[in-house]
Structure 1
């Protein structure tokens, strides 16, 4: 059963893998139950993801000379959630496929656990950072927070993928780049689909003077 303790343990394992602790495999729960519970990271990441997305949208509108035509708060939230879930699913499918090809055996468990919770950690940090700085009226610092979270995300992924897949440093970089390309491609396809069904505007409108 999911609990604060199990979440804390999974997050601790993710950081342990990222840091390359020599005993990360012995200290943490990598059972089938822990693998299944790691998928709770998906719904738990939705709220901070929406906060970060809304914050990024506000910053963009404040700093550009064009204003995106509003599609409605609900429609925007739906589009953001779908993008998050699809990108996450595509990335997880890719890394599990790589794991099967490399025949990593038992390390498939920490790979899934660590990867799921690494994305949750990144989304939570980004949502909190952007949300707090926007509330404080510090949009510039919100952008800085986004940059820091990007480094955190890469560091966590690097550690989890390297430890679980057993790839070389260059191989790990290649996997991360591949994940980024696949995620961006999925986002572009979804954006075009959302425009087609009216969830997102297809053309900008002039900003108010």
Structure 2
């Protein structure tokens, strides 16, 4: 597939579409345990433009195990908030630098014009990732004085501390796949969590 609605796809997009698609689990690109495959169809032309692994329960289990290991033993939850902020800003920069290719793929996924995918979908991803990057250094708890019964002339206080909770499971719909990834991953990563993302079968 070299064209989309009369527009030439970029060389980078064509190279991406020609590569085998796998699931990213624990820093490895893997096939589905059961070997199943889903065909991804461009709704504008009804043409199949990619094949992706059809994950099953066993794939979910190994993804959750990898995310749990990364949370318990990895660097991300213990990283300084300012460093998480820098990495999320870097991710936003990379999305922006590859906006045309991402827009072309998003257009194939949804049957929308490439110009709309670039001006809306991809642009919002960049803005949202930069917004959430800022939150990495803004998460804070609160402190309050408390009254303890039967104890006079003593000062007590309670406090809350916000910290990563663990593995976030995210399931996204078909209509704005790239933006939905940002909406789920941005807050989870900014707060120091790891995650497992399940996209819609159609995308």
Superposition TM-score, scaled by structure 1 size? 0.29
Structure 1 or 2, whichever has the larger Rg, is 2
Tell me which of the two structures has the higher relative contact order, counting C-alpha pairs closer than 8 angstroms and 6 or more residues apart: 1
Superposition TM-score, scaled by structure 2 size? 0.30
More helix by share: 1
More strand by share: 2
